[in-house]
Structure 1
Amino acid sequence: MAVNTSQPILYGIPNCDTVKKAERWLNQQGIAYSFHDIRTQPLSAEQWQALVTLVGPETIINKRSTSWRGLSESEQQLASVEAVVSLLQQYPTLMKRPLVTPTAPTKPNTFVIGFKEAAWAQEFQTA
Structure 2
Amino acid sequence: MSVILYGIPNCDTVKKARRWLDDAGIAHQFHDFRKNGLDADLLGRWIDELGWEKLLNKAGTTFRKLPDDQKADLDASKAKALMLDQPAMIKRPVLDANGSLSVGFKADDYQARFAG
TM-score past 0.5 threshold: yes
From the two aligned structures, give the one with the greater helix fraction: 2
8 Å Cα contact 1:48-1:85 kept in structure 2: yes
Q: Please, which of 58, 65, 77 is the counterpart of residue 82 of structure 1?
A: 77
Judging changes above 3 Å, is the alpha-carbon distance between structure 1 residues 77 and 57 closer, same or farther for their aligned structure 2 residues? farther
In structure 2, how many angstroms separate the alpha carbons of the residues matched to 1:101 and 1:84? 20
Which residue of the partner structure matches residue 101 of structure 1? 96
59-68 or 29-38: bigger deviation = 59-68
With the length of structure 2 as denominator, give the TM-score of the two structures: 0.92
Which residue of the partner structure matches residue 66 of structure 1? 61
Instruction: Say whether residues 1:10 and 2:5 are aligned partners.
Output: yes
Letter in 2 for 1:84: A
In structure 2, how many angstroms separate the alpha carbons of the residues matched to 1:78 and 1:121? 37
In structure 1, how many angstroms separate the alpha carbons of the residues matched to 2:36 and 2:17? 19
Letter in 1 for 2:95: V
Instruction: Say whether residues 1:41 and 2:36 are aligned partners.
Output: yes
CA RMSD of aligned residues (A): 1.4
Which residue of the partner structure matches residue 112 of structure 2? 122
* 4+ long deviations beyond 3 Å: none
In structure 2, how many angstroms separate the alpha carbons of the residues matched to 1:51 and 1:75? 21
**Could you tell me how far 1:95 is from its partner in structure 2?**
0.5
- What does the per-residue CA deviation read over 1:11-40, in whole Å, with 9 as the maximum and x for residues that have no partner? 001100000000111111011100000111
Which residue of the partner structure matches residue 3 of structure 1? none
In structure 1, how many angstroms separate the alpha carbons of the residues matched to 2:56 and 2:90? 5
**Could you tell me how far 1:77 is from its partner in structure 2?**
3.1
The sequence identity of aligned pairs, in percent, is 36
Count of residues in Structure 1 that have an aligned counterpart in Structure 2: 116
With the length of structure 1 as denominator, give the TM-score of the two structures: 0.84
From the two aligned structures, give the one with the greater strand fraction: 2
Structure 1 gaps of 5+ residues are 1-5
**Could you tell me how far 1:78 is from its partner in structure 2?**
5.5
